[in-house]
Amino acid sequence: MSFKPLTPFLSVAPQISEADVALAARQGFRSIIDNRPDGEEPGQPSAAEMKALAEAHGLGFAHVPTVGGQVSDDHVAMMAEALKRLEGPVLAYCRTGTRSTILWALSEAGVQPADALIAAASGAGYDLSALRPRLEAANVR
C-alpha cells in the first residue's frame, strides 16, 4: 500500500494490514494513529490488535476513534494531542484516509491557512474544499 504524505511528519492511509504495519516500520514511520471506531466494519482489526502489531514493530500507537461525518472538536483535540505526543513520522489511518486527513487539517486550523491545508490534502488525493468554512472559522479565533 502507498501511504499518502500530508506533511513530512504525517502520512495517511486507508485501513492498514499487518503487512502495512511492517512496511511502515521499514519506511521509517515511528508511530501509528487509528482513527476508526472498533467494529465499524466486519473483519476490521480492533484497536487493541493494531496497537499490539504497532508495538511488535517498535512503533508508538494512539487510538482516536471518530465516526465518519461526525468529527467533533473533542476528536480534533484528541488528534492534536496524539500528534504532539507521538514520535514522528506518523501514519494515521481510517477506512479511506479521509477522516484522518480531516482530523489533521482541523487540528492545524488556526496555525496554517485554510488554503494551505486544503492544498496539502488535495496533493494526497483528498478534497477538503467543503471543510473550508470550518477551517477558516478557526483562523479568526
Structure pTM?
0.95
- Hey, which residues does 92 pair with through a beta bridge? 12, 33
- pLDDT (mean) for 90-94: 97
- One-letter amino acid of 123: G
Reported confidence tier of residue 81, pLDDT bands at 50, 70, 90: very high
Please, are residues 44 and 15 in contact by the beta-carbon 8 Å criterion? yes
pLDDT digit string (tens) for 21-65?
Answer: 999 999 999 999 999 999 999 999 999 999 999 999 999 999 999
- pLDDT (mean) for 128-133: 95
- Tell me 51's DSSP state: H
pLDDT digit string (tens) for 14-33?
Answer: 999 999 999 999 999 999 99
- Mean pLDDT over all residues of the chain? 95
What pLDDT does 2 receive?
Answer: 85
Reported confidence tier of residue 72, pLDDT bands at 50, 70, 90: very high
pLDDT of 96 strictly over 90: yes
pLDDT of 139 strictly over 70: no
Percentage of the chain surpassing pLDDT 70?
98
pLDDT of 140 strictly over 60: no
Reported confidence tier of residue 129, pLDDT bands at 50, 70, 90: very high
Burial of 130 (0-12, 13-18, 19+ CB in 10 A): exposed
What pLDDT does 68 receive?
Answer: 86
